[in-house]
Structure 1
Amino acid sequence: MAKLDILLGDYPHTRPLKDGTLPVDGVECRFQTAKPLYSAFPRMVRDLEFDVCEMPVATFLQAREAGVPVTLLPVVLIGATHHGSLTRLPDSPALDPRRLAGKRIGVRSYGQTTGLWVRGILREDYGVHASEITWVTTEEAHVASYRDPTNVERWAGRNVAGLLRAGDVDAAVLGPRAIGTQGTPLVPVIENAEAAGRAWCERHGTVPANHLLVVRDDVLKTERDAVTALYRALAQAIADTAGQRGQATPAGRAVAAGWSDSLSNCLHTAARYALEQQVVRTPVDLVGIERGAEFLAD
């Protein structure tokens, strides 16, 4: 029986695989853990520690540019709109997103995927470019070889909400799952953020993905049947748990398996944003990425 070391977050659509309710045919799945989850991502892109691993979109794009031998599997594990992810303290002065040039914004890492989406939104919807803002980070990128742009500062040993409370930044980027978890109630900088996010999704024909799934190239070569079985089981789990997600919400619709116009639109938009922001320095080979998982259609 094939064996796979797998790192997945804890979601309704991953639990049936992790607790054995939905077995993966012919595969012994050895599920690994990491707390917080994002601590596993540098272990994957630097040391290839897992056979199959959840991975943020921006980390995957940087890993591809750095030559990390991983292949994307067409699974969106989590996603959401991010107009509400640019936040401020509730008692601080309101900020006009069109006038953020010259401001300081905190974000865990410049290569964080939520930051990628927020910077794309600011440029596209409000005319403010990433290069016009000082980005204050608390951690380095997951990909060791990546170097931040010159308008990025590193304040190690801090957390993003702490930077905001101390007045060291004017606003902070926190993903939907992080808002409210760092001891500070926060409010969106962008007014009517939910409606603005839905309008973005309609315009782009997609929901911003945060985490996808990758497999090591050598594992794909030697254990292709096992990887296919895992993918199909996960796709089944996503379908079976659709009722547990709010399908009327962008976050509920984001979770999906299989190549689709939505996933293609998401990757094209993320790749464009990444190049504009110097999250990557060379154009992303999207054709190569999509061809990488053609075996799943066999």
Structure 2
Amino acid sequence: MTRLPISLACWNYDRTQALADGSIRPDGIDLNFQTLEVEETFFRMLRHREFDAAEMSMSSYCVTLSRPDPAFIAIPVFPSRLFRHSCIFVSAKSGIETPADLVGKRIGVPEYQMTAPVWIRGILADEYGVDPASVTYYTGGEEQPGRDEKLKLTLPEKFKLQPIGPDQTLSRMLADGEIDALHTARTPSTFYSEPDKVRRLFTDFVPVEQDYYSRTGIFPIMHVVAIRREIYEKNRWIARSLQKAFEAAQAKVYEELLVTASLKTMLPWQIAAVEQAVSLLGRDWWPYGFGPNRAVIDTFLRYHHEQGLSSRRLQPEELFAEECFEAFKI
């Protein structure tokens, strides 16, 4: 029987490795898995729609849903999740000691619409009372000059954005005190090379993030898997087929991470880390599917709207192919 050729761009996560090496094959699909850095995948998919399906920034995907004839439809698979308290960096010259000190400051963001800063701004607002409109955002490349927003934005006037110079980088500006703080997905190089000039706002971030989860139940979602809508409309069955395959690939990793005969990763205390994750977040600590993630998605959509990135408050059910809401049971 002929299988439908589908190209999929995604980074080489442990939870997608079985799809990349072909040991798990989606039903009815001949998968052309392309391993790419996330920034390249996002740029090529959002600007040129180069792949049939791809890992995609949650925020960028939501921006596209607010536009006429949305180009993509997602499945409830979340290859990237991360608590982002650890990703707020401050300049030693800023005088910032607490989250409240961020008010009125100059905050760097590679892109305002990036998912990580959306979560950071929302958490700072909910947990510490830092209004996202109370600061000035400086946008541009973190390590290389010349980065622009992947998607054109139309924001309410209360949000103040200022592009940095064509030869400037946020990492350098942070160390030099030209910006006071940085909300980012990637740790700036100056955090490691100039630790006397750049530090985390939450120095001991793990207990802060664990406390946040214990109170909110939120493990922030960063990325979804999106399908080009015209491909999906012609072959609606592929949404569920891809979801099942991602779930099967993830299940293998859950099992392998608890093997003690030979460690799957280079982390010396891998088993302790897994057991701690199970203790704090449950056995399915990285859940796929709509039901277990509805509250997390709803919180993100509130942040997205409050920060001017979506013109109306999207509902979680609007994000995903309807086939993915149904579960077949024997």
TM-score range, shorter chain: 0.7 to 0.9
Question: 2:194 matched to 1:194?
Answer: no
Classify 1:273/1:295 alpha carbon distance in 2 versus 1 (closer, same or farther; 3 Å): closer
Q: Which moved more, 1:108-117 or 1:69-78?
A: 69-78
What per-residue deviation string (whole Å, max 9, x for no partner) do you get for residues 240-293 of structure 1?
Answer: 1024384434899663322223x1111101011111111222211333225634
Q: Does the aligned pair in 1 maintain the 2:239–2:324 contact within 8 Å?
A: no
- 1:2 corresponds to: 4
Partner-residue secondary structure (3-state), 2:79: strand
- 2:99 corresponds to: 97
Residue ranges of structure 1 left out of the alignment (5+ in a row): none
Classify 1:12/1:90 alpha carbon distance in 2 versus 1 (closer, same or farther; 3 Å): farther
Question: 2:235 matched to 1:223?
Answer: yes
Q: Could you tell me the TM-score, scaled by structure 1's length? A: 0.87
The alpha-carbon deviation at position 30 of structure 1 amounts to: 1.2
CA RMSD of aligned residues (A): 2.6
Amino acid at match of 2:149: A
- 2:65 corresponds to: 64
Partner-residue secondary structure (3-state), 1:22: coil
The alpha-carbon deviation at position 93 of structure 1 amounts to: 4.3
**What is the 5 A alignment of 1:1-298?**
1-34=3-36, 36-67=37-68, 68-89=70-91, 93-138=95-140, 139-144=147-152, 146-148=153-155, 150-155=159-164, 156-175=166-185, 178-179=186-187, 181=189, 184=193, 185=195, 186-242=198-254, 243-244=256-257, 246-247=273-274, 248-249=276-277, 255-261=286-292, 263-290=293-320, 292-294=322-324, 297=327
Amino acid at match of 2:21: D
Partner-residue secondary structure (3-state), 1:230: helix
* Aligned mates of 1:106, 1:237 — CA distance in 2: 36
* Aligned mates of 1:102, 1:66 — CA distance in 2: 32
Q: Does the aligned pair in 1 maintain the 2:173–2:179 contact within 8 Å?
A: yes
Classify 1:20/1:84 alpha carbon distance in 2 versus 1 (closer, same or farther; 3 Å): same
How many residue pairs end up in the alignment?
A: 293
Q: Could you tell me the TM-score, scaled by structure 2's length? A: 0.80
The alpha-carbon deviation at position 102 of structure 1 amounts to: 1.0
Classify 1:32/1:296 alpha carbon distance in 2 versus 1 (closer, same or farther; 3 Å): farther
What per-residue deviation string (whole Å, max 9, x for no partner) do you get for residues 45-66 of structure 1?
Answer: 3332211111111111111112
Q: Does the aligned pair in 2 maintain the 1:79–1:254 contact within 8 Å?
A: no
* Aligned mates of 1:170, 1:196 — CA distance in 2: 22
Classify 1:167/1:91 alpha carbon distance in 2 versus 1 (closer, same or farther; 3 Å): closer
* Aligned mates of 1:281, 1:158 — CA distance in 2: 31
Classify 1:266/1:119 alpha carbon distance in 2 versus 1 (closer, same or farther; 3 Å): same
Amino acid at match of 2:150: H
Partner-residue secondary structure (3-state), 1:84: helix
Amino acid at match of 1:147: T
Partner-residue secondary structure (3-state), 2:5: strand
Q: Which moved more, 1:250-259 or 1:42-51?
A: 250-259
Q: Does the aligned pair in 2 maintain the 1:235–1:256 contact within 8 Å?
A: no
Which has more radius of gyration?
Answer: 2
Amino acid at match of 1:270: F
Residue ranges of structure 2 left out of the alignment (5+ in a row): 141-146, 258-269
The alpha-carbon deviation at position 162 of structure 1 amounts to: 1.8
Amino acid at match of 1:7: A
Identify the structure with bigger relative contact order (alpha carbons < 8 Å, sequence gap 6+). 1
Q: Which moved more, 1:251-260 or 1:78-87?
A: 251-260
The alpha-carbon deviation at position 92 of structure 1 amounts to: 6.6
What per-residue deviation string (whole Å, max 9, x for no partner) do you get for residues 31-86 of structure 1?
Answer: 2343x421321332333221111111111111111242211201111111111111
The alpha-carbon deviation at position 218 of structure 1 amounts to: 1.6
Q: Does the aligned pair in 2 maintain the 1:8–1:31 contact within 8 Å?
A: yes
What per-residue deviation string (whole Å, max 9, x for no partner) do you get for residues 136-193 of structure 1?
Answer: 110333223x235541111145432122023211111232xx2155664553213543
